[in-house]
């Protein structure tokens, strides 16, 4: 099915776009929690930075005492002292 048709159906059914797309959604909760939805995989994991692969690029989360919590196939909760979040867009 074409992308335009999927968008029309989603609009008709009033689905939020983030449910039907592969774009990541980043929710920041204070300086100690980050929820990333629609990620593909974990590229690197250290207690001071985490790199996540997404369908549109890479998300870098930098901080201290970072840990992965509540992992599912599509959602990931990261806790610790969050210092910064950097985005690297894919050049496809």
Q: What is the pLDDT of residues 28-80, one digit of tens each?
A: 999 999 999 999 999 999 999 999 999 899 999 999 999 999 888 889 999 99
pLDDT tens figures, 6-27: 566 666 666 666 555 678 999 9
Is residue 71 domain-resident?
yes
The parent domain of residue 62 ranges over 22-89
Taking the CA atoms of 87, 29, 34 and 47 in sequence, report the sign of the dihedral they define: positive
pLDDT at 72: 87
- Domains in the chain: how many in total? 1
Is residue 44 domain-resident?
yes
Is residue 52 domain-resident?
yes
Is residue 5 domain-resident?
no
CATH number of residue 44's parent domain = 2.60.40.2000
Instruction: Report the alpha-carbon distance of residue 49 to residue 64 in Å, rounded.
Output: 8
Is residue 28 domain-resident?
yes
């Amino acid at each position: 099915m074409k992308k335009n048709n999927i968008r029309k159906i989603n609009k008709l059914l009033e689905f939020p776009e983030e449910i039907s797309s592969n774009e990541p959604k980043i929710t920041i909760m204070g300086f100690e929690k980050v929820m990333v939805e629609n990620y593909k995989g974990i590229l690197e994991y250290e207690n001071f930075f985490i790199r996540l692969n997404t369908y549109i690029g890479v998300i870098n989360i930098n901080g201290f005492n970072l840990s992965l919590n509540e992992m599912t196939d599509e959602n990931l909760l990261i806790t610790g002292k969050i210092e910064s979040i950097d985005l690297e867009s894919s050049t496809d």
